[in-house]
Amino acid sequence: MSGAVVKLEDFMLPRGTAAGYVCAYAAMRACTGLTVTRPYAVKRKWTQKEVDDCNVALTRTKNDAYILPGTFGMLRWALKDIKLG
């Protein structure tokens, strides 16, 4: 779960450009992979191997994690489902 949070927050300010979890989730789903020229990778002086490792983790998160970004109203709905379930 924490790995999914980290990957999602990579797309939020200040690491990314998305403001809020909903926008970050949309950007993460649309991302086809990082490159060494992306500002995030340039700032950290990543090698191609580090970018490839990040892309593997991103793909794993997109395929394996269930993320439901939303509002507090959605959180109440989800917690009610968990309590009843």
pLDDT tens digits along 4-22: 888 888 888 787 788 888 8
Instruction: Provide the whole-model pTM.
Output: 0.66
- In whole angstroms, give the CA distance from residue 51 to residue 70: 29
- In whole angstroms, give the CA distance from residue 10 to residue 24: 8
Each residue of 28-73: pLDDT tens digit?
888 888 899 988 889 889 999 999 999 999 998 888 887 777 667 7
Q: Which residues pair with 12 in a beta bridge?
A: 18
